[in-house]
């Protein structure tokens, strides 16, 4: 079923697992992602940056996600990742995205509250779920560099969630976007303090840089949406580069795309298996 993130995250909270949210960069990536979820009987969140959404066409992402959700009998949410512009949010909702992230984390705290709650009112009135963010997640995303600034503080979480009726909250506990060469050091005592003050589903960004050995502790502390982007991007690009380099220029393109898509399927499948709480070895 094509759905919002809300029922997916609340089912995850009941049993203590987390839902994988995977960044797609093109339409090619969607079938292997969604088929991997179907094979494991798991829900999946597909997310796109506003830039990718505009490149592919928002309605195209919606059409493919809806079709695959129906044909493959799997729960799929399509989420706009890190939107800072209200126009992007309105366009995504109009196109049929089932979920949006409003990222007001660069704004002064009170302005973030006001703007996030406005987005919640607009989106909820249209049956679309909302993720908000407080604290700054470092690293590079969609070519934009962010300093690793302030980690999310529990008192801010309480104040923010008292005013903002969002469906999920992205927090900063030491992750960085785009970290694929090494792994990050997470501040687990901070996460535990945040989890102690709220039941709201929490979101980890920069999942590529998180050590897989840390997943169980994240899931035990309220992380219900887990974003993975760069690992898929790097895997897809490396496989495509290899195939294209070895290919005659007039070889049917699918022969070069299939290995790249298979890499995406394998990474998504591996991650979802771990997110369901099943220990596996690579
Ligand atoms: P990575 O690309 O570092 O895995 O992060 C993905 C993400 O958090 C998207 O918002």
Q: What is the pLDDT of residue 143?
A: 59
Average pLDDT score over residue span 209-225: 97
Give the confidence band of 141 by pLDDT, cuts at 50, 70, 90.
low
User: pLDDT tens-digit profile of 242-255?
Assistant: 999 999 999 999 99
Average pLDDT score over residue span 90-118: 97
User: pLDDT tens-digit profile of 114-128?
Assistant: 999 999 999 999 999
Ligand 1 centroid vs 227 CA: distance in angstroms?
Answer: 5
Catalytic positions:
81
All structural domains of the chain with their residue ranges: 5-275
Q: What is the pLDDT of residue 142?
A: 59
Average pLDDT score over residue span 135-141: 79
Q: What whole-number distance in Å separates Cα of residue 104 and Cα of residue 125? A: 20
Average pLDDT score over residue span 119-148: 84
Q: What is the pTM of this model?
A: 0.96
Q: What is the pLDDT of residue 137?
A: 86
Residue 207 near ligand 1, beta carbon < 6 Å = yes
Ligand 1 centroid vs 252 CA: distance in angstroms?
Answer: 32
User: pLDDT tens-digit profile of 159-178?
Assistant: 999 999 999 999 999 999 99
Inform me whether the pLDDT recorded for 76 exceeds 60: yes
Q: Which fold has domain 5-275?
A: TIM Barrel (3.20.20)
Mean pLDDT score of the chain: 95
Which is the closest atom of ligand 1 to the Cα of 178? 3
The residues pairing with 170 across neighbouring beta strands, listed in sequence order, are 133, 203
Q: What is the pLDDT of residue 138?
A: 80
Q: What is the pLDDT of residue 136?
A: 86
Give the confidence band of 139 by pLDDT, cuts at 50, 70, 90.
confident
Atom 5 of ligand 1: nearest residue by CA position: 206
Ligand 1 centroid vs 43 CA: distance in angstroms?
Answer: 18
91: left (phi over 0), alpha (psi -120 to 50) or beta: alpha
Inform me whether the pLDDT recorded for 39 exceeds 70: yes
Greater confidence, 141 or 14? 14
Average pLDDT score over residue span 225-239: 98
Work out whether the CA dihedral 19, 11, 63, 272 comes out positive or negative: positive
147: annotated binding-site residue?
no
Q: What is the pLDDT of residue 148?
A: 58
Q: What is the pLDDT of residue 22?
A: 98
Average pLDDT score over residue span 248-276: 97
Q: What is the pLDDT of residue 140?
A: 67
Residue 178 near ligand 1, beta carbon < 6 Å = yes
Mutate which of 177, 209, 210, 231 for ligand 1? The one with the most ligand atoms within 8 Å of its CB, which is 177
Nearest Cα to 223, choosing from 159, 164, 169? 169
Which is the closest atom of ligand 1 to the Cα of 205? 8
Average pLDDT score over residue span 197-203: 98
Average pLDDT score over residue span 100-116: 97
Residue 103 near ligand 1, beta carbon < 6 Å = no
Greater confidence, 248 or 143? 248
Average pLDDT score over residue span 249-262: 97
Pairing of strands 223-228, 176-177: unpaired
175: annotated binding-site residue?
no
Atom 10 of ligand 1: nearest residue by CA position: 205
């Amino acid at each position: 079923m094509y759905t919002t993130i809300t029922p997916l995250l609340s089912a995850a909270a009941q049993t203590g697992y987390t839902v994988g949210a995977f960044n797609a960069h093109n339409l090619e990536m969607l079938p292997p992602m969604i088929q991997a979820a179907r094979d494991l009987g798991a829900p999946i969140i597909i997310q796109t940056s506003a830039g990718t959404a505009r490149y592919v066409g928002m309605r195209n992402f919606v059409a493919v996600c809806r079709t695959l959700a129906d044909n493959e009998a799997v729960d799929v949410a399509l989420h706009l990742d890190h939107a800072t512009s209200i126009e992007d949010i309105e366009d995504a909702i109009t196109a049929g995205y089932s979920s949006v992230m409003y990222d007001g984390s660069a704004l002064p705290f009170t302005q973030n509250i006001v703007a996030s709650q406005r987005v919640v009112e607009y989106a909820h009135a249209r049956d679309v779920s909302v993720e908000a963010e407080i604290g700054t997640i470092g690293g590079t995303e969609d070519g934009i560099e962010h300093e690793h600034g302030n980690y999310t503080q529990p008192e801010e979480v309480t104040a923010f969630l008292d005013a903002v009726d969002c469906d999920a909250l992205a927090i900063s506990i030491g992750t960085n976007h785009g970290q694929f060469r090494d792994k990050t050091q997470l501040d687990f005592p901070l996460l535990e303090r945040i989890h102690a003050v709220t039941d709201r589903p929490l979101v980890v960004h920069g999942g590529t840089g998180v050590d897989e050995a840390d997943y169980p502790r994240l899931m035990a502390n309220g992380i219900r949406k887990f974003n993975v982007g760069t690992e898929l991007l790097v895997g897809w690009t490396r496989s495509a580069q290899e195939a294209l380099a070895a290919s005659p220029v007039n070889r049917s393109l699918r022969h070069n795309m299939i290995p790249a898509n298979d890499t995406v399927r394998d990474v998504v499948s591996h991650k979802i298996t771990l997110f369901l709480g099943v220990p596996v070895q690579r």
